[in-house]
Homo-oligomer: A and B are copies of this chain.
């Protein structure tokens, strides 16, 4: 088949009938497939089941420093947990604060605290200001945007380029407007584009001249070890870059083992300057006596060292790489020559970002839904759920089986073609 945009109206209508036929066949199969959320598959979760066995009633239930992991205490994590995550994130153990099972929770609470108390160095709690704004490189992660909506933080869309956010836009905005207090970033294998920020982008972030002296980068390094290839992307260390640029307190890094061990029972961490962490710890000490240390010990004893964790991540890649390949090969074979869609081919992470013709994404998602294939809602990858070009669709290939995924992609590709023809015919 050829480029849709070169077809005549009659040719398009002919094709429309054929595709509608195909669509109706799929629809009649009563499919129930889900590509909506970045969830690990059961096989991936199986990889960590032995973690349940390494801390048993027969084991010594003490941390390196003698702490009884069963009792209260350990506000910011066990020494070995801080060391382990420090190595993963290339920061000092003293720059790591260990949380509960959810890095999203740490992000939410960091914003919540900033609203009440400001951040280290703030003159005024953010919530006392007439207006607080965050920059949101988009497409981006819907749950980041949801936190802003919850706290009534105005979101400003910044375009994503192939090497990260459009830094010209970012630089101009933060220099001019002191109500801009933060920016959300997924710097490695970004959600959903799968892009890793270039060294230049990282340096420009570190060197930003911000009008707000308490401007912060929310650096969600969720996919830092989640490679799909043997030639993984490299991300420059933002904390070091910020220190060098004279902005040592600028960045909050977040990460977790949710997509390393168990999605619901992993460990979330916040890494930042000691000034930032000490500022938080005072507040956190009013909130909790400490996170679950038994689960920390479980993780540490399961992995023993970061080399083993990296080997573990290769097993994940073995399971999910074929799924990414399936999605990409379907996109290529079904949509590759038609000039109606474009997509990224990521080296890691959890998503493939598909752009349709303008104004088609909602229709595609609806058509797929009616045929039993659930996708992330169109618009979800933009603040307020509003994709200005209505074209971005986030594909999450990890949870379904390869077989299900093939079926789901067949449906999706027909839906994209149908919506595109409808669009072209309506012109």
Contact = CB atoms under 8 A, between A and B. Distances in A.
Contacts of A265: 69-70, 292-295
A103 to B, nearest CB: 10
Contacts of A109: 287
Interface string A284-322: 001111111111000000000000000000000000000
Given A101-B100, A147-B286, A283-B150, A263 B72 contact: yes
A150 B286 contact: yes
A31 interface: no
Interface residues of A, number: 55
Interface string A313-351: 000000000000000000000000000000000000000
Interface in A380-405: none
Contacts of A283: 150
A40 interface: yes
A71 B288 contact: no
B45 A49 contact: no
Contacts of A37: 72
A44 to B, nearest CB: 9
A292 B289 contact: no
A42 B112 CA distance: 36
A146 B45 contact: no
A69 B264 contact: yes
Interface string A95-112: 000001110110011001
Nearest to A105: B288
Given A105-B288, A147-B286, A292-B101, A56 B52 contact: yes
Interface of A: 37, 39-40, 42, 45, 48-50, 52-53, 55-57, 59, 61, 68-74, 100-102, 104-105, 108-109, 112, 115-116, 127, 143, 146-147, 149-151, 258, 262-265, 283, 286-295
Smallest CB-CB A-B distances: 6 pairs: A49-B57, A108-B287, A265-B294, A70-B262, A45-B70, A72-B263
24 contacts: A37-B72, A42-B71, A50-B57, A52-B55, A52-B57, A70-B265, A71-B262, A71-B264, A74-B264, A100-B100, A100-B291, A101-B291, A104-B287, A108-B287, A108-B288, A112-B116, A116-B151, A143-B286, A150-B283, A150-B286, A263-B289, A264-B291, A264-B292, A264-B293
